[in-house]
Structure 1
Amino acid sequence: MMGIITSTSYLAVFSAGTIVGITSTLTLLKFLPKIRKKGYDKWEKGQEEKFEFEPTAVNDEYRLVLAVRNDLKMQKGKIAAQCGHASVAAYAKILNERPNLLPLWYRQGGTKIAVKIESEDELFKLDEEAKKLNVLTSVIRDAGQTQVVPGTRTVIAVGPAPKSVLDKITGHLKLL
């Protein structure tokens, strides 16, 4: 008798979970087109393969600069992950604060440049210089689960902005 009660309970929980899952999926599908159009007119599957570069003056090309702290001696994989976090954070910030920049940056390939900085102080200086020139920044703080202490500032994303503006902020830095 206990087996029947238990199996009925599982069936009720499974049924409720299925209903919630279907309802959530249908709601998401209903509102997803509105969310997508908020910051970018059209995002299609495989968009990353559709970058078409438009001829522009080199100084007008929109770029995102990722300045990585070299003093932390992070391994290559860690650096790649932190740069990925910075790129996503920069994208989210653009989408929310200046969505008109997104097509300009994407039209030219979504260029990302990785450079090295030697300290947290240098990271703060870049942030300050960018703000003076009205350029977006995103500072990444690590969760501290692997190579660095929790809360360590590892990377700053500067931009996207025209190369001519970014050069005033990061032009003196060496490539990573």
Structure 2
Amino acid sequence: MSLIAVNSHLTVFSAGTLVGALSTYLFLKYCRKIQWNSIWSEGMEERYKFEDTDDEVRLILGVRNDLKMQKGKVAAQCGHGAMAAYANVSQKRPELLKEWLKNGGTKIAVKIDSEEELLELEKNAKDLKILCNIIRDAGQTQVLPGTRTVIAIGPARKSELKKLTGHLKLY
């Protein structure tokens, strides 16, 4: 009796696998005839035209390397920085926001060696009239409450940011 039950399950599984593989093959064969690019990219061409990247608008995320944060923590802090920068630029320079998003919202993470360097970058950014935000951690996991973890500089033109952060190494 159990041999019959095992064989019937095996038969059903084999038939299901065969039907699934055959239907996938036919679906993919049929899909090649359809212009999927025109369906999926409808309306996206305008948003992601990378015309002039020589002086594109971008955001620099300076991450404090001395804190030895884990990758997930760094990613979360950079996310906070990007969100703060977005909110800041949308209120203070909406025309710059449109240009930043037009080229995909470029974000670049760089290493900062200390809190002093982070504060110096903030001062220099303000002197150059470049938007910036310092992110402070809530202190629930890896660092103490109020620790300055990331500085979001920009969005601003590449040429302006290069003067300020051109010497920093990628994170």
Q: TM-score, normalised by structure 2?
A: 0.72
Alignment match, 1:9: none
Q: CA–CA distance in 1 between the matches of 2:105 and 2:98?
A: 9
Counterpart residue number, 1:80: 75
Whole-angstrom CA distance in 2 between matches of 1:51 and 1:120:
37
Unpaired runs of at least 5, structure 2:
1-42
Secondary structure of 2:118 counterpart: helix
Give how far 1:49 is off. Answer: 10
Q: How do residues 11-50 of structure 1 correspond to structure 2 at under 5 angstroms? A: none
- Among 68, 75, 81, the residue aligned to 2:63: 68
Cα distance between partner residues in 1 of 2:86 and 2:45: 18
1:164 deviates by 0.5
Q: Which residue of 1 aligns with 2:9?
A: none
**Quick one: distance in 1 between partners of 2:160 and 2:146?**
29
Question: Could you tell me which of 115, 123, 147 is aligned with 1:128?
Answer: 123
* Residue of structure 1 equivalent to 2:49: 53
What residue in structure 2 maps to residue 174 of structure 1?
169
The equivalent residue for 1:140 is: 135
Larger Rg: 2
Identity of aligned residues (%): 62
Q: Aligned residue for 1:26?
A: none
Task: Report the secondary structure of 1:143's partner residue.
Answer: coil
Deviation, 1:50, is: 7.6
Give the aligned length: 129
SS in structure 2 opposite 1:63? strand
Confirm whether residue 96 of structure 1 aligns to residue 69 of structure 2.
no
1:67–1:49 Cα change, 3 Å: farther
- Letter of the structure 1 residue corresponding to residue 49 of structure 2: F
Structure 1 residues without counterparts, runs of 5 or longer:
1-46
Residue 54 of structure 1: how far off its partner (Å): 3.2
Structure 1 vs Structure 2 CA RMSD:
1.8
Q: 1:161 to 1:121 in 2, by over 3 A?
A: same
- Distance in 2 separating the partners of 1:144 and 1:123: 18
Normalising by structure 1, report the TM-score.
0.70
